[in-house]
Amino acid sequence: MRIGVHVTSFAFPDGPASIAPKLAAVGAAAEAAGLDNLSVMDHYFQMPGFAGGATDPMLEGYTTLGFLAAHTSTIELQLLVTGVTYRHPGLLAKIVTTLDVLSGGRAVLGMGAAWYEGEHLALGVPFPPVAERFERLEEALQIVQQMWSDDDGPYDGRHYQLARTMNHPAPVRRPHPPIMIGGGGERKTLRLVAKYADACNLFSNPDTGPAALRGKLDVLRAHCDREGTDYDRIRKTILWSARLDPESAAAGTQFVEQMQSYADIGVTEVHLMPFTADPVEYIQGLGAHVVPGLRDV
Amino acid 52: pLDDT: 77
Q: Express each pLDDT in 196-206 by its tens digit.
A: 999 999 999 89
Give tens-digit pLDDT for 207-226.
888 998 999 999 999 999 99
Task: Label residue 232 by pLDDT band (50, 70, 90).
Answer: very high
**Cα–Cα distance measured from residue 74 to residue 122, given in angstroms and rounded to the nearest whole number:** 37
Residue 53's pLDDT is what?
85
Question: How far is the C-alpha of 293 from the C-alpha of 112, rounded, in Å?
Answer: 31
* Amino acid 174: pLDDT: 94
Strands 37-40 and 76-79: parallel
Look over the chain and give the mean of its residue pLDDT values, rounded to a whole number. 96
138-186 pLDDT per residue, tens: 999 999 999 999 999 999 999 999 999 999 999 999 999 999 999 999 9
- pLDDT at residue 228, rounded to an integer: 97
pTM above 0.85, yes or no: yes
- 50: confidence class by pLDDT, cuts 50, 70, 90: confident
**One-letter identity of residue 31:** E
Residues paired with 202 in a beta bridge: 238
Mean pLDDT of 287-292: 96
Q: Distance between CA atoms of 167 and 96, rounded to whole angstroms?
A: 11
pLDDT tens for each residue of 18-41? 999 999 999 999 999 999 999 999
* Cα Rg, the chain, nearest whole Å: 19
pLDDT tens for each residue of 59-87:
999 999 999 999 999 999 999 999 999 99
Asked whether the predicted pLDDT for residue 51 surpasses 80, the reply is no
Residue 49 has pLDDT above 90, yes or no: no
pLDDT greater than 90 at residue 94: yes
What element of type H or E holds 199?
strand 199-204
